[in-house]
Amino acid sequence: MAHPFTLQLSRRTVLTAATATLAASTLPFMAQAASTLSKAATMENPTIKYPKPPFETQSQPFPGLAGKMTPTPDHGETSYQGSGRLTGMRALITGGDSGMGRAAAIAYAREGADVAINYLPDEEPDAKEVIALIEKEGRKGVALPGDLRDEAFCEKLVEDAVAALGGLDILVNNAGRQQQAASLSDITTEAFDATMKTNIYAMFWLTKAALKHLQPGSAIIQTTSVQAYDPSEDLVDYAITKAAGMNFTKSMARQLGPKGIRVNGVAPGPIWTPLQVSGGATMEKLVKFGSDTPLGRPGQPAELASIYVQLADPQASYATGQIYGAAGGSGQP
């Protein structure tokens, strides 16, 4: 029979050896974690993170292409990193070829969602890039071009998205039309009608069609604007639609809350998108675009991607009827 002291020593030796082995095996993980934490802690000055005005004068026919802008907008193509927050979910995003829609599409795919995007046929070059980025993440990317001013198309768009994705969990009403006009007399009835149908009617038609497919836990997100709260004198019709979108968001949140469907909005300030170079701003405003914000520059679509993710994330289950602003320190909300 072993002596008690010898037995105790043996146990101590074994425990010491096991501890040393465990420590050695965890060193690589700890080093990696420390490296990750160190990387996450890197600070960036938001005033110089992206290009600042003055910008060069440039114009494109509506609706414009992000790929032809100078500088090219950042939609998170190389910067957004996902963490599985939307794994297995299915999203339809209008205006998904550029701007906030493109940023949301990229982010959703990297968070594990399959994504269908809608856009105008003239925006096909931008849309192809988005679909490629979605598929690069191993997710399904579905291109559904067409004009949202047509009710029948909006209904078909939802049905086509549901068929291609196998269902629908997230609807992002993001597509918008913005054309500046110095005077009310410069806004023709045809132009007014186009803005109303693109920004309001389509939102109504798409949401109505989607409700047949959305289950408890689903999310609807509208892209509204600071124009809903603080309208510019030369964006009268656009501002009207954004105020309507904000109110629609709050009304639908109350109506759909009992059904377990959340409805929220995002209100961007000056963001560098094709809207600005395709008639949405005068050349004078374009050159100094974003200069009057506290950060001294326009925002980039990539800077709003995380907001769209947060509002779609099931973990944000108590957020509904809210409007999340991102305006560089100016505007509301």
pLDDT at 281: 97
3-state secondary structure of 146: coil
The CA–CA distances, whole Å, from 163 to 7, 124, 144, 233 equal 69, 22, 12, 43
pLDDT for res 9: 44
324 is catalytic: no
Beta partners for residue 220, in sequence order: 171, 263
Over residues 62-76, the pLDDT tens digits come to 999 999 999 999 999
Report the pLDDT value the prediction gives residue 331, as an integer from 0 to 100: 81
The residue annotated as part of the active site, out of 50, 80, 238, 308, is 238
Q: How far apart are CA 281 and CA 292, in angstroms?
A: 15
Q: Which residues of the chain have pLDDT under 70?
A: 1-41
Q: Which residue has the tokens 């968001």?
A: 249
Residue with tokens 């991102």: 326
Tell me if 141 sits within 8 A of 85, measured CB to CB. Answer: no
Task: Encode pLDDT of 13-42 as tens digits.
Answer: 444 444 444 444 444 444 444 444 445 557
Q: Is 151 exposed, middle or buried (0-12, 13-18, 19+ CB in 10 A)?
A: middle
pLDDT at 21: 47
Architecture of domain 87-326: 3-Layer(aba) Sandwich (3.40)
Three-state DSSP state, 297: coil
Given this model, what pLDDT does residue 40 score?
56
pLDDT of residue 41: 54
Q: Does the predicted TM-score (pTM) go above 0.75?
A: yes
Greatest pairwise CA separation for the chain in angstroms: 106
